[in-house]
Amino acid sequence: MAKFGKKQKKGLPPISTASLPDIVFMLLFFFMVTTVVRENPAKVKYVVPTTKYYDQVEDRSKIAYVYIGTLGDGGKSNIRYEINGNVVDEIVKLKDKLINKQGEMDEKMEDITFTLKIDKSNVDVGQIKRLKKMMQEIDIKLILYSSEQEK
Amino acid sequence: MGKREIPEINAGSMADIAFLLLVFFLVTTTINVPEKGVKTVVPKKVEKNDDDQIIKVKVLPRDILKIKANARNQLLIEGEVYEPEEADIIYDMVIKFYDSHTRARGLSEDDIDGDGKTDFPVRWEVTTDTIKQEVEKWKEQLNSALSYDMEPDFFQFMVDRWEDKQMVLDEIGTYYELPDAASIKFETDDETTYGFYLKVLDIIQAAKSKVLNDFCESTWGLKYEDMKFGNSEGGIPNEEKYKKELKIVEMLYPPAKIIDYADKIEDVNY
């Protein structure tokens, strides 16, 4: 009869997890540094156009977002303007909101790039012209028509 | 005095805390990407002044590339109707607009009509003689304006302009300039959709940047975008470094040649 030797209980030594917090903290700091807090999703619905040519604006502290799109299923008859989570139905009412936004940002009006996220199929050029007219009156200078990039 | 040993703090839960924070940041953040889109400037309000100097330039029909879009997104270009899907045709037209025909100064209109009528602007050769004449002419007018106590700005502007042309001639040799009146007019209906409007603008812009890039690459072996927006060693913006080159590009392909009717907002009410 074969003699079964007693298996020696050698086993692996336990892995030290002492450095785990360090690794996780490193990851944490990496994400804290490279990211910005996500802006609230807009209430109005919009699909921005696609372009081949585009410009870039890097400095996010000098960007203000304006959304123009539809609310609900109204289509063209239900165009709404949104800034800072406020939804208004007329360009006149947007004027004060833009001035408030400038006050909040504490930048000069001509330094702020107003990034316009505009729905491509429901909004038409007449609205853009009226918006530009209003922006001209409050000395807004830079605008960026936000677009997706064609691959 | 016996030294009391401080018990070791159990750091086992540290990882959990850190993980929790990590997950929080992962969920609430996005990576900082630059905002992309088509940049434009809101037109400045102009006060009309009756005694403003008006520069009168001769406008020929071929000098203007008229692009019209109607409420149904159809295009009317040079008298022909195109469906929205055919918008890409604008690309070739814009390239032709900038770089189509070159003629030596001294040829008459009949000569152009004779060897092939054209729908696109004709570039004229700039010669040292004409520059000399013009600079002298405008300097004379500038001096008389000064002696009569008139506003000299306009005449100074014309003198500078012609001197710039001499600079371009010295730098790149024989060159041909677009007529003053040459422009691309993009007219839209109020009901043209925004998406289509931006699409046409994009095609015009893409064609223009191709023309500029081709010119810069063949002349200096550099891309226009790099010269204008890039940074060279030591963090100096290229715009400073290539000031002269960019000026030449500007003289050959003037930036204000695109007239966008969405900027015509003098009579708009909102």
Q: Kindly state the DSSP code that residue B45 receives in the 8-state scheme.
A: P
Considering A133-147, B34-48, B238-252, the range whose residues carry the highest mean pLDDT is A133-147
Helix axes B128-147, B153-172, angle to 10 degrees: 160
**B25 touches A126 (CB < 8 A):** no
Residues in Cβ contact with A97 at an 8 Å cutoff, skipping those fewer than 6 apart:
A83, A84, A86, A88
Q: What is the mean pLDDT of residues B102-112?
A: 61
Listed in sequence order, the residues at least 6 apart from A123 whose beta carbon sits closer than 8 Å to its beta carbon are A68, A69, A79, B193, B194
- Minimum mean pLDDT range among A5-14, A57-66, B72-81: A5-14
DSSP A32-52: HHHEEEPPPPPSSB----EES
Question: Of A109, A58, A26, whose CA–CA distance to B22 is shortest?
Answer: A26
Mean pLDDT on B152-172: 86
Asked whether the beta carbons of residue B38 and residue A58 sit closer than 8 angstroms, the reply is: no
DSSP string, B205-267: HHHHHHHHHHHHHHHHSS-HHHHHH-B-GGG-BHHHHTHHHHHHHHHHS-GGGEEEGGG--TT
Which of B194, B212, B268 is the mutation pick for testing A, counting most A CBs within 10 A? Answer: B194
What is the residue type of A7? Answer: K
Does the pLDDT of residue B47 top 60, yes or no? yes
Please name the amino acid found at residue B97. Answer: F
Taking an 8 Å cut-off on Cβ atoms, the answer to whether B15 and A57 are in contact is no
Q: What is the pLDDT of residue A6?
A: 58
The verdict on A106 touching B (C-beta cutoff 8 Å) is no
**Mean of per-residue pLDDT scores for chain B:** 81
Tokens of B41: 């400037």
Name the nearest CA neighbour of B63 among B120, B104, B101, B105.
B120
Task: State percent of chain B over pLDDT 70.
Answer: 85
What integer pLDDT is reported at residue B268 of this predicted model?
Answer: 78
User: Token pair for residue A125?
Assistant: 């050029």
Report how far apart, in Å, the C-alpha atoms of B262 and of each of A77, A114, B43, B124, B128 are.
21, 17, 10, 31, 40
Choose the most confident range, by mean pLDDT, from B29-33, B101-105, B171-175, B247-251: B247-251
pLDDT category at B252 given cuts 50, 70, 90 is confident
Of A106-115, A132-141, B7-16, B257-266, the one with minimum mean pLDDT is B7-16
Cα–Cα separations (whole angstroms), residue B124 to A118, B63, B104, B121, B175: 42, 12, 6, 10, 8
Give the pLDDT band of residue A113 (cuts 50, 70, 90): very high
Q: Residues near A92 by Cβ (< 8 Å), separated by ≥ 6?
A: A134, B270
Judged by average pLDDT, the poorest of B47-56, B116-125, B155-164 is: B47-56
Q: What is the ipTM of this complex?
A: 0.75
In the sheet with B175-177, reading across from the earlier edge strand, the strands are B101-103, B122-126, B175-177
Here the tokens at position B161 are 């302009």
Q: What sign has the CA pseudo-torsion B68, B70, B76, B77?
A: positive
Residue B54 reports pLDDT greater than 70: no
Task: State the Cα–Cα distance between residues B240 and B232, nearest whole angstrom.
Answer: 10
Helix ranges (DSSP H) in chain B? 14-28, 89-98, 109-114, 128-147, 153-172, 194-220, 224-229, 238-241, 243-252
Task: From chain A, pick out residues whose CB is under 8 angstroms from the CB of B190.
Answer: 124-126, 129
Residue to substitute from A129, A135, A137, A140, interface B, most B β-carbons within 10 A: A129
Would you state the pLDDT for residue A16?
A: 78
> Of A5-14, B13-22, B72-81, which range is least confident?
A5-14
Residue in chain B closest to A57 (alpha carbons) equals B35
| Separation between Cα atoms, residue B194 and residue B198, nearest integer Å | 6
Q: For residue B128, what pLDDT band results from cuts at 50, 70 and 90? A: confident
Inter-chain contact B198–A34, Cβ cutoff 8 Å? Answer: no
- Interatomic CA distance for residues B15 and A17, integer angstroms: 9
Res. B157 pLDDT band, cuts 50 70 90? confident
Q: What is the pLDDT of residues B168-227, one digit of tens each?
A: 888 888 888 888 888 888 989 888 999 999 999 899 888 888 888 988 888 888 888 888
- Please give the helix or strand (H or E) that residue B184 lies within, else none: strand B183-188
Rounded to two decimals, the pTM is 0.76
B195 CB within 8 Å of a chain A CB: yes
Tell me the nearest-neighbour CA distance from B29 into chain A, angstroms.
5
Q: Tell me what pLDDT residue A3 has.
A: 60
Which chain B positions have a beta carbon within 8 Å of A141's beta carbon?
Answer: 41-42
